Structure 1
Amino acid sequence: MANSSFVKRIQNVMRNDSGVNGDAQRIEQIVWILFLKIYDAKEEMWEFHEESYQSIIPEGLKWRDWAVDEKDGEALTGDSLLDFVNNTLFPTLKNLEIDDTTPIRQVVVRYAFEDANNYQKDGVLLRQVVNIIDEIDFTEYKERHEFGNIYESFLKDLQSAGNAGEFYTPRAVTDFMVKVVKPVLGDRIGDFACGTGGFLTSALNELERQVGNSLENREVYNQSIYGIEKKALPHLLCVTNMLIHDIDDPNILHGNALETDYKELRKMDPFDVILMNPPYGGSEKESVKVNFPTELRSSETADLFMNVIMYRLKKEGRAAVILPDGFLFGTDNGKFNIKKKLMSEFNLHTVVRMPHSVFAPYTSIRTNILFFDNTKPTKETWFYRVDMPEGYKNFSKTRPMKLEHFNAALNWWDNREDIEVDGFPKSKRYSIEEIMERSYNIDLCGFPHEEEVILDPMDLIQEYQEKRATLNAEIDHVLEQITSMLGGN
């Protein structure tokens, strides 16, 4: 039976294994074992309902064949378990034969193990971990859904697990974005850098309430989400997350959405809803940048993802995207043209400024949520600042941002008005003409009185680089105007 001590029990076992170092490895070790347990439970249901179902996992390698301990002394353990896992299980699952006719629900097994690793070196301790995970009955709907909360808790641990923190967006933020975008059953929902699946999970929780007892609705629910994730660990975490949420065919690809040429992006199926927190602070190589038109190229990963989103948002579709402050104030050539395209072809109706440390301790860089739809060009944009809650100086692992901290924003959303605090705008509407006059610098309704935040050195370097690029772009723009006025070339 799943309970709150589940992760702690496994953690205590793994602490004694010299092969597992740190939270990220611990989570990766748990999740490949967990994936096989959940997948086996799903296969039992598919076998029951589909007479012709054939598993992609060979006999002898299914969870029920090797992992279940009948307490009769026959279960693999020690060196024999390690030998089986390292030399039979992993090599076979990494090299499963798949082609264009292989169902998605079977393809995910190969994807899940492509870059997975068994870190444990003690076969007796590995057997103990397997036995703890085997206690959960994933064929029971109630127990499976109870386990979803436990799974979320160790995904949250990623936020403090070094660079792995980039793959986790706080649940309060994903839930707020979903509440505002309002996905409905039948919408096709996408996230092209889906990490561990936080946005997709929040959207599925909203859709679940709309399913009812209809088998037809359940099938629509099962086909509603799509994700791409570049890195192996979050991809495996996301696929497992989708299986826990009863997505039998988790359409979660292991790849890089930026490696598709924009001409091909235009031909791909568009999405009704796009929810994303693109990676930012990264720098893409030339072979990735050339996939986009010259005027829309940028070294900043988040900028390029904005191009992907614009190409793949369906007419009348809506999007909510988290971006760093650098995107707002940046007026270098790439950012300028991306924002110009966004506002001339899409309706950027709202920008929500979030307080610092929302993503702490992974990063202290300030972030914002851009809400837009593919209905018409932007005529005006509302800006709203979410201030730090009373009594908080920073968010932290023990005091994270909560959905209730967005209550004022949710109340404002349907009853918009200008708001001033101490003479500074907290909420204000700007026309497209005002934004164009600012060269698409949309750093508006910021945080005037807040104490200076001490950033991590790498975050500080990135912020300085973005500000320097913006200043250089503004100087070039002024020089062009002066040269033009003087009749020069």
Structure 2
Amino acid sequence: MITNELKSQVDKIWETFWTGGISNPLTVVEQFTFLIFIKSLDTAQTKIDKKKRLDSSVKDIFTKENQHLRWQNVSLKTAEDMFATFQTEMFKFIKELADEDSTFSKYMKDATFLIPTAKLLQKVVDMIDKLHLDDKDIKGDLYEYLLSKLATAGTNGQFRTPRHIIKMMAEMMLSNANITKDFKIYDPACGTAGFLINSIEYIKDHKSELLDTLSSKEFEGLFYGNDFDISMARIASMNMMLHSIESAHISNTDALAKFDLDEENKYDLILANPPFKGSLDYDEVAKAILDVAKTKKTELLFVSLILKALKVGGRTAIIVPDGVLFGSTTAHKEIRKEIVTNQQLDAIISMPSGVFKPYAGVSTAIIIFTKTNGHKNDKVWFYDMQNDGFTLNDNRTACEGSDIPDILERFKNLENETKRTRTDKSFFVPIAEIEKADFDLSINRYKETVYETISYDTPSKILEDLEFINSKISVGLEELKELINE
């Protein structure tokens, strides 16, 4: 979670852009991101320099000829020299980092240096130089905060998934995944590519043997993302590039409108937090998606898309607003019925409403299911998350008692969950019971609360106590009267 200190630094940089003449919030985010990317390239090269002591075959980002473009060198130039370097060399350099036909090159082709003056560039570079971005979570949190400022400015109002929730979901879905060179991980609304980045990191940290069996091209072929916004697709590509995925499969399309046969039955794992509360006309949505359930609500349309896009045997963990779990419209019920009776619904994890604060206060849940097209589960695991490791107010400061380690432990050992009762944080519910409840998937429908028994005195005892109190009051009043009359 982003610290107040980093928030303050970002706010100052944002304000500097605005006072320096860039008033479009999206332009601020893009230019800010380009500079962070350039700084991160220098950090990546420093790590490469260390690796080259052991392995001389490691590929450099900066050759001897373009060392002057490294952040540590360009940031020392005078304002005018720095500005000239950015205008004539820097953007040309970053556009040529990957192969011509790579996704990164495609999205960077239209990238433009839009900082208007040398003075503004130097100010912003000096401020970014003070940001400590070495921690791999910090850049993700920084993007999350930047995008929240877009929402505040009324532009592209999406709120981003907290890093610790992304990491939890990636671990839940990848810990037992059988990953081969043909495995495909997808996020249909990828934003800055948080789910994909965390999948990359989890595989590198916990399935390192896979890296020995796959070529770099095969490893890059595991990850797919899409975002409707060209700026988000560009940021996602830069983020993937910083994690050594040069040819990331990041597309910039309207996933709901452009869904076609090539996307059906394609992916082994889908991790997503698609946009909530949007609405589209029917003619803006692909027929294949409407075939699942006819609806205009984007949160339902994305669930339908995932049902279509998964391979048989493929799995998903998707964040949805609570309304998806209990909504009473025909489309809500049809989609829940499809997941419960025709697919293998594995788990529902209810999250507290403060998880997305300060950006949004909506209550959400994670739905986990496996596409089977005809084979349903006999029971579903529910977990009532009450603490995600941060306070649930707008400050979202770290606190003790996070449920996340417990969720991971219990989910990985579901065979031990069968004896739990519905008064516990987690429990199983039979599919038959869910079907009888009109496919309601809200945890409160099934959770039992044990109320503390409170014993009350009998009415006669209460009256006796009142009489005693009244008698003491009467005595006190008489004593006061006597004092007054003296």
TM-score, normalising length: structure 1 = 0.70
- 2-structure distance, mates of 1:42, 1:6: 21
- 1-structure distance, mates of 2:253, 2:401: 31
Q: Aligned to 1:176, which of 168, 176, 181?
A: 168
Q: CA deviation at 1:335?
A: 1.8
The unaligned stretches of length 5 or more in structure 1 are: 52-60, 137-142, 450-489
Secondary structure at the residue paired with 1:353? Answer: strand
- 2-structure distance, mates of 1:280, 1:105: 28
Q: Aligned to 1:270, which of 254, 266, 270?
A: 266
- 1-structure distance, mates of 2:336, 2:170: 23
Residues 411-450 of structure 1: pairs in structure 2 closer than 5 A: 411-413=409-411, 414=413, 415-417=416-418, 419-420=420-421, 426-445=425-444
Q: CA deviation at 1:386?
A: 2.7
Determine the structure 1 residue equivalent to 2:354: 357
Taking structure 1 as reference, are residues 181 and 433 closer, same or farther at Cα in structure 2, changes over 3 Å only?
A: same
Secondary structure at the residue paired with 2:197? Answer: helix
Q: Looking at CA atoms only, which structure, 1 or 2, has the larger radius of gyration?
A: 2
Q: CA deviation at 1:360?
A: 1.0
Q: Is 2:24 the counterpart of 1:28?
A: no
Determine the structure 2 residue equivalent to 1:153: 141
Q: CA deviation at 1:105?
A: 4.1
- 2-structure distance, mates of 1:6, 1:416: 41
Q: Aligned to 1:189, which of 185, 189, 205?
A: 185
Determine the structure 1 residue equivalent to 2:483: none
Residues 75-224 of structure 1: pairs in structure 2 closer than 5 A: 76=81, 84=87, 102-110=101-109, 113=111, 118=114, 120-130=115-125, 146=134, 148-158=136-146, 160-161=148-149, 163=151, 166-182=158-174, 183=177, 185-186=179-180, 187-209=183-205, 210-211=207-208, 214=212, 216=214, 218-224=216-222
Residue 198 of structure 1 aligns with an amino acid whose one-letter code is: G
The unaligned stretches of length 5 or more in structure 2 are: 49-55, 60-65, 450-486
- 2-structure distance, mates of 1:70, 1:295: 54
Determine if contact 2:141/2:162 at 8 Å carries over to the other structure.
no
Residue 430 of structure 1 aligns with an amino acid whose one-letter code is: V
Deviation larger for 198-207 or 293-302: 293-302
Determine if contact 1:40/1:63 at 8 Å carries over to the other structure.
no
Residue 32 of structure 2 aligns with an amino acid whose one-letter code is: I
Residues 279-294 of structure 1: pairs in structure 2 closer than 5 A: 279-291=275-287, 292-294=289-291
Paired positions, count: 416
Q: Aligned to 1:342, which of 339, 348, 353?
A: 339
Determine if contact 1:190/1:274 at 8 Å carries over to the other structure.
yes
- 2-structure distance, mates of 1:239, 1:343: 36
Q: CA deviation at 1:37?
A: 6.2
- Post-superposition CA distance 1:137-166 (Å, at most 9, x none): xxxxxx9x9353431231232464252673
Secondary structure at the residue paired with 2:311? Answer: strand
Q: CA deviation at 1:243?
A: 1.4
Determine if contact 2:39/2:71 at 8 Å carries over to the other structure.
no
Taking structure 1 as reference, are residues 215 and 441 closer, same or farther at Cα in structure 2, changes over 3 Å only?
A: closer
Taking structure 1 as reference, are residues 436 and 24 closer, same or farther at Cα in structure 2, changes over 3 Å only?
A: same
Determine if contact 1:381/1:431 at 8 Å carries over to the other structure.
yes
Query: Identity of aligned pairs, percent?
Result: 21
Secondary structure at the residue paired with 1:274? Answer: strand
Residue 154 of structure 1 aligns with an amino acid whose one-letter code is: L
Taking structure 1 as reference, are residues 124 and 6 closer, same or farther at Cα in structure 2, changes over 3 Å only?
A: farther
- 2-structure distance, mates of 1:403, 1:242: 33
Determine the structure 2 residue equivalent to 1:236: 234
Q: CA deviation at 1:336?
A: 1.9
Taking structure 1 as reference, are residues 76 and 11 closer, same or farther at Cα in structure 2, changes over 3 Å only?
A: farther
Q: CA deviation at 1:353?
A: 1.0
- 1-structure distance, mates of 2:389, 2:85: 52
Determine the structure 2 residue equivalent to 1:225: 223
Determine the structure 1 residue equivalent to 2:326: 329
Q: What is the root-mean-square deviation of aligned Cα atoms in Å?
A: 4.5
- Post-superposition CA distance 1:295-325 (Å, at most 9, x none): 6121110111111111111122111111111
- 2-structure distance, mates of 1:40, 1:64: 9
Q: CA deviation at 1:240?
A: 1.8
Taking structure 1 as reference, are residues 275 and 391 closer, same or farther at Cα in structure 2, changes over 3 Å only?
A: closer
Residue 204 of structure 2 aligns with an amino acid whose one-letter code is: E
Secondary structure at the residue paired with 1:384? Answer: strand
Secondary structure at the residue paired with 1:430? Answer: strand
Taking structure 1 as reference, are residues 330 and 66 closer, same or farther at Cα in structure 2, changes over 3 Å only?
A: closer
Taking structure 1 as reference, are residues 389 and 73 closer, same or farther at Cα in structure 2, changes over 3 Å only?
A: closer
- 2-structure distance, mates of 1:321, 1:70: 42
Determine if contact 1:68/1:75 at 8 Å carries over to the other structure.
no
Determine the structure 2 residue equivalent to 1:317: 314
Q: Aligned to 2:382, which of 384, 387, 392?
A: 384
Residue 166 of structure 2 aligns with an amino acid whose one-letter code is: T
Determine if contact 2:67/2:73 at 8 Å carries over to the other structure.
no
Secondary structure at the residue paired with 1:258? Answer: coil
Determine if contact 1:347/1:377 at 8 Å carries over to the other structure.
yes
Determine the structure 2 residue equivalent to 1:246: 244
- Post-superposition CA distance 1:198-217 (Å, at most 9, x none): 11121111111223573845
TM-score, normalising length: structure 2 = 0.70
Residue 353 of structure 1 aligns with an amino acid whose one-letter code is: S
Determine the structure 1 residue equivalent to 2:457: none
- Post-superposition CA distance 1:231-281 (Å, at most 9, x none): 233323222221121112121111211112454533xx6111111111111
